[in-house]
Structure 1
Amino acid sequence: METAQLATLEKSDSAIQAEAEKILKEISGLSAKILEIHKSIQKRSEDLTRKEEAFARCNDEKNKQREELTKLKAELDQRQTDLDKTGSALTDKERDLELRELDARSGFAAQNDKALRELKNEIAELESKRNEIRRDIHQAEQQAHDDEAKRLAKLMEREAEIAAKERSYQQDQCRLDIEWKELKRRETVIRKEALHEAELELKRHDEARQRTEARLEKAYQDLRDAEEQLEQYRELSESLAGRPAQELLHELAACKQKINQLENQLTNNQDDDLHAKNEELRQICDAQRSKLADIESDLAEAKAELHRLRLGVTDKQNLEKEKQALEKNNRILSSRLDNLGKTVDDLTQSHQAEKPFPQMSWMDSASRNDWSKDRQATELNLSEQDVPNLKQFAIELQHRIAQAEDKTPLYFRLEDIQLLIAGLAMSQLHIFQGISGTGKTSLAKAFAKAVGGQCTDIAVQAGWRDRDDLLGHYNAFEKRFYERDCLQGLYKAGTEFYRDRCNIILLDEMNLSRPEQYFAEFLSALEKNDPRERLISLSERPLPNAPVRLMEGRKICIPENVWFVGTANHDETTNEFADKTYDRAHVMTLPRHETSFEIEEKSRVSYTFKSLMARFDDAITQNEDEVRELLEDLTTGPLTNILRDRFDLGWGNRFEKQALRFIPVFMATGRRKEDALDYLLASRVFRRGKVTGRYDVDIKDLEAIEDVLTNIWKKWSSEPRRSLELLAKDRIRKERNI
């Protein structure tokens, strides 16, 4: 039996090996196909190389033809010059003949007339020849121009064909790479599945072997039991001494019958005695139960009567006590009501004499020591200094932000710091977005500490609907305005000690509520060109004893040295920003901080707001002409036509205004203008909802945008990385939906 099982196991192992070899052969075949595909790709690459060489030869021929046309044009110009000289000589001859005619009017009139007519005919013939030559020259130039246009058209067609083939080659390459990865993945999966199947099969064979061994062991055990029973049977046969088994069975049955009869007789005798005693006890129990029921009935009636008597006495006592208590409470309430009326009158009179904005009024009169003592304003003790050139400022700011928190270093890329500085010049509203943990809140707070400014941290709530949730509200009864942190932060930025510092108002989780509702007045005010007109109304009428910096006693002006920074997560608990918010804000998407750097220790200082604005103005003035030329090329090029015709979009005044401030400052921090333009296009034009993420846009429209952007960036020998990434992601999304 064991030999048969081992043979079965060997056959199953050989079957598994055969299946594994079959799978490996299939994998080898797939690898051979992949190698063939790679060879075909290499062949296509060589074909493209030959076509590019042919294209270069065509360019050389075109250059030669241009040189021939230039020579022909020079010859035609020389012939034109000769004709002009001939005409001038003929004009001189005509003038001489006229003089001779005047000298000899008499006697030679007929001859002179004849000679003059012949001369005029000759002049006319020469002029007609000159006109013919000019027509020939014009036709030759036109023919050369047409030939050149045809050659250029053919050349452009060839370039388009080569570009299309290059795109096709790239798509084929991407598809083959994907297929190669898929084949690798399938090979790994098949290998793992084959190994897993082999392991399972071996496990099943091991289990079968164990079951067979168990059955064999059981058979051995049964054999041993049978041998033992046989031995017992032999011993029994010896003890019977030859008596038959049937006789023994009859004797055993007779004994059992006699035992049963004796047990039944004993049971009957005991049951009779117990039954009689049980009947006597049952009768006694019934009599006792009847007596107990009568006693319980009498007891229940007595308890009910006692309860009724007790309730009557208790109710009367409780009513007397309640009456006394109510009379006492009535006297106490009357006394307290009189005192409360007096207190309300006193409070009303005292509040009418107090200031409606206690915190803001305190700021008007507070000294530097008051700020340091009552508000722990340690930044006021820092030494003030001017902002250096923006390139150096960006590097210093990166290290100052990194060490802004005492225990936790903050590693932000220099590119992000440069974008932040350019954004400060562009807009007073910033949106930091990205996945959780990228340091959106930390960057805003660390920037304020790094520049020696103040950050007012505000946690936006999900139920905010209007500006009162952000600024506070006026209580007409108490004659007091409940000033929230945002209002205090705005007013603080205009005080004596903070007007030349950079101030941040941080709206944490800004899109938990819709900023287009609670932040609507700020969005409108920040659009006004004159900073003095950026006013927010706090009440409908002027308030008495209002702080000195409120306009008309009821309006607060948004200072220029305040930036609103909103952090945003995008999940099921938040709202999407509307276009009016995105278009007015500087949007930064912060990545994860995967690299660190060596932090240079720097002492804390306070950079002045005026010097920062001066650096911005210097950068704008220095790079203005170059940026205007850049915007002129962009807005008058083919990208404008595609956006207008296929996406119904155009360039607005806001985009130009933001670009004229963002791009020059970004260049002054040490970056290139094309990178700044790419960032603006990605965050302003190609963001989701405008160009990407639209259901009415197909893949051809996105490819047209990609081609135009690639052609525009060719002259800079770079590529619009951010914009192309957005377009590629949207194109892939549409391809998967198809």
Structure 2
Amino acid sequence: MASKRRNNAASTQRSQTPAKSEPKPNNEGQLNQEKLETLANKAFDSVTEQQFEQVTTTSPPEDFNPQDCWLKAQLFETAIKNIEADRQRLDETTKQLESQVADLEKKEAAIKLEKTSLQQAKQGFEQEQNALKQERQSFNNQVLELSTKERQLKELETNAEAGFMAQNQAALKALDEATENLRQERDRLYQEIAERRRSLDSEIAQQQDRLAQELDAKRHQYENDFAARQVELDAQQQELLILRKEIRREQKNLKLERELLLEDQESIDLKVQRLSSSSTEKFNVKIQILEERLKQSNSLRQSFEQKLLQRTEADRRFGDRTPDQVMAELTSLGEENQALRQQISELPSQASLERLQQLETLQETWESERLQLKTRVQEQERALSLSRVEVSNLETLRNEKEAMEASNSRLRKALEDLRGDLALSIADDQKRSQFEHCAAMDQNTLLQKTSQLYKEITDLRAFAKDLRDRIALSQGKGKELYYSNQDIRAFLGGLAMSRLHILQGISGTGKTSLPRAFAHAMGVDNYTKIEVQAGWRDRQDLIGYFNAFEGRFVENDFLRAIYKAQTPRCQDQVYIVLLDEMNLSRPEQYFADFLSKLEDIESGETPPLKLQSDLEKHFPRLFQDKDLLLPPNVWFIGTANQDETTLEFADKTYDRAHVMELHQQAKPFDIGKIESRHPVSYSALTNAFNIAKKNHLNKADESWDFINESKLRDLLKRFRLGWGNRLKRQIDSFVPVVIAAGGTVGEATDHIFATKVLRKLRDRHDTPIDDLKQLQTYIVKNWQLLDQSSNPVQSLNILQEEIHRLSGGELS
């Protein structure tokens, strides 16, 4: 309705303009009336009634040029078309980007399908593993059946010896042959089972590694591709957002320009109308003035003609004058008449004067109004520029608001996801054990079943020889590990003496290989390697720590090994924990809690290991009173290098540990036949040690008497060396086992004396050389009283090295 009123007002205003004041159209340089009418109608539809009233009150400037207005209108129309074409191109680009996004979503779905297929392949592999486990179980069942048959045959043999001597000798012979065949078949099956188990384990491990590598490679590849595509998609989306913002900004600018164009067009029309109406009015006033003048001139002419006729009549009537006089008088009268006429023509009428005064008054009024309108137009232009700035700022704020709302929605969704994940994590945490790996061992069926073990070691000497052969072949053929009989005997004696071993020597002498090979030779895989780091300061670096935020204990390999050693499968097996590069940090700091507890284990106790934990949560099955016990079947073996990167051991560590110094590997020897047997149990090993202690306790007393002899003690007091009851306990455990394994009392005493006493003489600078020589002479002189079959090689080497060093041998 408002647009119709404006259109009617505009048409009425155009119709009120006089027809004779309209300019005549030409073919060139004139406005195209139809296009102007179209633009005017569009402008009338886009403005408000208040804006239309404000525009109608303005008048065009005096230097207004319709041709320039028309050119500007054409330029605006062309610019509008170009902007619309740009907007169409932007819409096409947007559609292309949306199609690319759809393609990326399809590719992402394909990647998810490939991940699903990989998971299905992984499940197939797990099924194959289960089948292999079932096959291994069937092998174990066959072994049990063979053992049952062997036991029945033994019972038959016992019955034959007890009361069936009268039976047929042929039956006995056949029974013996059957027994031997069954034994051979049992041994063969044992070997096949062992080989089959090793091959299956290696195949399973290889397949697991291969599948894990393939899965990791594919996962990394897919993740990289997806990340790259995601980055590309994000960049395209960012560009799209920028383009959309530019389009919106251009649309807003275009809208403003359209409004300005329409306002300019309306002002131009109004100026044209006002200009034409004012020109017409001026022409009408001039015409009226001229008509008034013409009427006045005609009335004067008529009056003068009457006067002339009257004068003529008077001259005729007064004929006393001559014609020349009359002509002269007429000429003067005519001139006077002409002058009067001229004066009359120059003088306006009273109405004209009044009309002229009114027009001048109107002109002054219009001029003042024009100045006021011009001022108002300038103010409106300034307000319009400010409005444009505010509109631009408002558009920017609106875009920022939209971006912030989108970001806020994303953050709110992420927050909801995090809350859901947190709730799930809290629920899982309530169900989850704070010792996850230990609790997982409780659920491991293999660790919860006891295995068949070798329960008796009848001859420790034969066991040491067999152990040496098995250690040599533990790495496979072509990778033999040769250790001397003396090293094997010292290692076994150290197992009986202390739960802590320190293996010293240069790199490549087999310090790390010996514990691993020993565990393999015992028939078990109970071996855990801990790589000690240079920055360890307390036991948390070794065993782990309690994470109060997550409510769980971060279990390191050391703690897992201690718990695993207590499981039903491993509790009667020897378990080795290797502390590689033990002296990179000070064991008196990170291993301090265990140094005192190990002696409690050696005395038959099972000391608890206090761990920080959540007392309200569930504890694993093998924890007692919420503490983890240190099992007796665990030995801690540390390797140590002596260089600038390592630290020296404290005396209290050396005093509690069994120390071995490995030099170059022994010479190759002939390896005997190795028969298959079950893993050696921990109880069998400790029983063999106890039997050796009973059988050779007197030899331990002889060793102690030699070391504790008063003259030797007096010599050692010069070096401020002494010992306590711990050394007596260590001798009672070490010497008998070395002798039972094939050594001598001199060999065992030399090792104990060198590693426990004379070791403390090394690298001293206040030691008198004469005292060292006296000590050396005493040992050589009195050694034969202890053992004539051996020499104190290690003890004399230490003394000789110190004498050589203090006498300047190092400088030479």
TM range (shorter): 0.5 to 0.7
Aligned to 2:204: none
- After superposition, the C-alpha distances for 1:486-545 in whole angstroms (9 at most, x for unaligned) are 111111111111111111011111112211111111112112264434221111663521
One-letter identity of the residue aligned with 1:329: S
Note if 1:409 corresponds to 2:480. yes
Would you say 1:332 and 2:410 are equivalent positions?
yes
CA deviation string 1:549-603 (max 9, x = no partner): 21211x2211111100111111122211111111111111111125112223423
Is the CA contact 1:357–1:481 (under 8 Å) kept in the aligned structure 2? yes
**Is residue 632 from structure 1 mapped to residue 705 from structure 2 by the alignment?**
yes
d(CA) in 1 for partners of 2:471, 2:677: 11
Q: Deviations over 1:331-356 (max 9, x none)?
A: 21123223323432332233123221
- Is 2:532 aligned against 1:532? no
1:364 corresponding residue in structure 2: 442
CA distance in 2, matches of 1:635, 1:418: 24
**Aligned residue in 1 for 2:494:** 423
Residue type at the aligned position of 1:537: K
Aligned runs of 1:377-392 on 2, under 5 Å?
384-392=454-462
Q: Could you state the TM-score of these two structures normalised by the residue count of structure 1?
A: 0.53
| 1-structure distance, mates of 2:404, 2:631 | 61
Q: 1:699 aligns with which of 769, 777, 780?
A: 769
Per the alignment, do residues 591 and 543 of structure 1 end up closer, same or farther by CA in structure 2, a change over 3 Å counting?
Answer: farther
> In the alignment, which residue of structure 1 is the partner of 2:163?
none
Q: 1:517 aligns with which of 554, 570, 589?
A: 589
Match for residue 591 of structure 1 among 663, 679, 703: 663
Paired amino acid for 1:388: T
Whole-angstrom distance in 2 between the partners of 1:392 and 1:624: 20
Structure-1 residue corresponding to 2:67: none
The residue type equivalent to 2:483 in the other structure is: F
For residue 624 of structure 2, what is the aligned residue in structure 1? 551
Q: Within 5 Å, which residues of 2 pair with 1:126-141?
A: none
Does 2:574 match 1:496?
no
Q: Distance in 1 between matches of 2:501 and 2:640?
A: 11
Task: Identify if the C-alpha distance between structure 1 residues 394 and 334 changes in structure 2 by more than 3 Å, giving closer, same or farther.
Answer: same
Per-residue CA distance 1:241-266 (angstroms, 9 max, x = gap): xxxxxxxxxxxxxxxxxxxxxxxxxx
Corresponding residue number in structure 1 for 2:464: 394
Aligned position for 1:735: 807
Query: In 1, are the aligned partners of 2:448 and 2:569 still within 8 Å (CA)?
Result: no
Distance between the aligned counterparts of 1:543 and 1:668, measured in 2? 51
Runs of 5+ in structure 1 lacking a partner?
Answer: 1-311, 373-379
Flag the 1:446–1:515 CA change in 2: closer, same or farther, 3 A.
same
Aligned to 1:59: none
Structure-2 change in CA distance of 1:600 and 1:642 (3 Å): same
What's the counterpart of residue 669 of structure 1? Answer: 741
CA deviation after TM superposition for structure 1 residue 724, in Å: 0.7
**TM-score, structure 2 normalization:** 0.49
Report deviation, 1:735.
0.6
Task: Provide Cα deviations, 1:181-238, integer angstroms capped at 9, x if missing partner.
Answer: xxxxxxxxxxxxxxxxxxxxxxxxxxxxxxxxxxxxxxxxxxxxxxxxxxxxxxxxxx
Task: Decide which of 457, 461, 467 is 2:533's aligned counterpart.
Answer: 461
Which whole-Å CA distance do the structure 2 matches of 1:733 and 1:313 have between them? Answer: 94
* Structure 1 segment 259-408 matched on structure 2, within 5 A: 323-368=401-446, 384-407=454-477, 408=479
1:459 and 1:382, CA in 2 relative to 1: closer, same or farther beyond 3 A?
Answer: farther
Q: Distance in 2 between matches of 1:731 and 1:586?
A: 26
1:710 pairs with 2:744? no
Q: 1:566 to 1:395 in 2, by over 3 A?
A: same
Q: Distance in 2 between matches of 1:672 and 1:622?
A: 14
Contact 1:429–1:564 (8 Å) recurs in 2: yes
C-alpha contact 1:532 1:557 (8 A) present in aligned 2: no
Identify which range, 353-362 or 394-403, moves more after superposition.
Answer: 353-362
Aligned to 2:679: 606
Instruction: Return 485-494 or 359-368, whichever deviates more.
Output: 359-368
> What is the deviation of 1:625?
2.5
State the SS of the aligned residue for 2:546: strand
Q: Which runs of 5+ in 2 are unaligned?
A: 1-389
Residue 726 of structure 1 aligns to a residue whose secondary structure is helix
| Residues 101-112 of structure 1 aligned to structure 2 (within 5 Å) | none
CA distance in 2, matches of 1:445, 1:677: 27
For the Cα contact (< 8 Å) 1:503–1:561, is it kept in 2?
yes
Match of 1:682 in 2: 754
The amino acid of 1:414's aligned partner reads N
CA distance in 1, matches of 2:634, 2:606: 15
Taking the aligned partners of 1:318 and 1:456, their CA distance within structure 2 comes to 65
- CA-CA distance at 1:467 after TM superposition: 1.2
SS in 2 for 1:384: coil
1:482 aligns to 2:560 (yes or no): no
Aligned-partner residue type, residue 611 of structure 1: A
**Residues 676, 335 of structure 1: alpha-carbon distance in 2 compared, 3 angstrom cutoff:** same
CA displacement, residues 674-720 of structure 1 (integer Å, 9 cap, x when unaligned):
11111111111111xx2232112110121121122112203233431
Q: CA deviation at 1:322?
A: 5.2
Q: Could you tell me which amino acid in structure 2 is paired with residue 498 of structure 1?
A: C
Amino acid at match of 1:519: F
Task: Specify the alignment match of 1:620 in structure 2.
Answer: 693
Secondary structure of the 2:428 match is helix
Q: 1:491 to 1:317 in 2, by over 3 A?
A: same
Cα root mean square deviation, aligned: 2.6
Matched ranges for 1:54-133 at <5 A: none
Change (3 A) 1:631 1:384: closer
Matches within 5 A, 1:42-53: none
Please give the alpha-carbon distance, in whole angstroms, between the structure 2 residues aligned to 1:568 and 1:611.
Answer: 30
- Post-superposition shift, 1:358? 2.2
In the TM superposition, what whole-angstrom CA distance separates every residue of 1:28-72 from its partner, at most 9, and x where no partner exists?
A: xxxxxxxxxxxxxxxxxxxxxxxxxxxxxxxxxxxxxxxxxxxxx
Deviation of 1:483 after TM superposition, in Å, equals 1.6
Give the letter aligned to residue 476 of structure 2. D
Q: Could you say which residue in structure 1 is the equivalent of 2:519? A: 448
Superposition pairs for residues 241-256 of structure 1, below 5 Å?
A: none
- Indicate the larger mover: 316-325 or 577-586: 316-325
Q: Is contact 2:754–2:798 with CA below 8 Å preserved after alignment?
A: yes
Q: How far did 1:363 drift?
A: 2.3
In 2, Cα distance between the equivalents of 1:476 and 1:634? 53
CA distance in 2, matches of 1:383, 1:436: 35
For 2:795 and 2:488, how far apart are their aligned partners in 1? 20
CA contact (8 A) 1:699 1:731 kept: yes
The answer as to 2:584 corresponding to 1:506 is: no
Amino acid at match of 2:750: D
Question: Residue 322 and residue 589 in structure 1: after superposition, are their counterparts in 2 closer, same or farther (change >3 A)?
Answer: farther
